[in-house]
Amino acid sequence: MKKALILIGSPRKKGSTAALAAEAERGLKEQGVETTTFFLNDLKIKGCQACYWCKRNDLAACAVRDDMQQIHQLIQECDGLIVASPIYFGGVTAQTKAWLDRMFPYMNMNLVPKLPKTKKVSFIFTQNQPDERLFRSGIESFMFAVGLSGMTVKAHLVGCDLDAGTKPPVTERKELMEQACQLGRDLLA
């Protein structure tokens, strides 16, 4: 059975990002993929301590003993990953950025990646602003950085004009919900 890991970078368990991630999970399950989901906000993940232990030892492993150890284990075991984050100030949330910095063990100093291309990653972003182009540079640089690990970047979705509680709920945006479900179906297809 194939396995996918879903990491949600929003602090809101009932927000738009979590709802779209749940749709992606539904799509994965339809394909018979086993899923594990984490809210990064529930985990204790320090920023990278720049100890360079992973570089000195040339290891795809981290010396910092916190909840990222479990995430590293799951990343290595899974066939695919979905990272879902709201846009905060033009980029991903602090929780998601902390996770990204801790992906440092998956590339060496010459940017040679350590994860196999066969591992796939797709992304879900949500933002308040209706214009998808506004934060494209932040979104693209985040996806590029994740791709430095070696995983194949498969797809991404930007849910615009979303603000749980003040704008119509994402669950009413049927097309967007279907796109998220399809992103899940396609991850390992």
Ligand X SMILES: Cc1cc2nc3c(=O)[nH]c(=O)nc-3n(C[C@H](O)[C@H](O)[C@H](O)COP(=O)(O)O)c2cc1C
Residue written as token pair 């430095």: 148
In whole angstroms, the minimum distance from the beta carbon of 156 to ligand X comes to 15
Nearer to ligand X, 13 or 46 (CB): 13
Interface ranges with ligand X (CB under 6 A): 10, 12, 15-18, 86-90, 126-129, 135, 162-164
In whole angstroms, the minimum distance from the beta carbon of 126 to ligand X comes to 3
In whole angstroms, the minimum distance from the beta carbon of 1 to ligand X comes to 29
Tokens of 36: 């594990």
H/E element, 6: strand 3-8
The string of DSSP codes covering 53-94 is HHHHTT-S--S--STHHHHHHHHHH-SEEEEEEEEETTEE-H
Q: Residue 29 carries which DSSP code?
A: H
Please report, as a single letter, which amino acid is at residue 161.
D
Nearer to ligand X, 73 or 171 (CB): 171
φ and ψ of 18, to 5 deg: -65, -40
Nearer to ligand X, 24 or 164 (CB): 164
In whole angstroms, the minimum distance from the beta carbon of 50 to ligand X comes to 26
The residue sitting closest to ligand X, measured at its beta carbon, is: 15
Nearer to ligand X, 15 or 80 (CB): 15
Tokens of 145: 């950085």
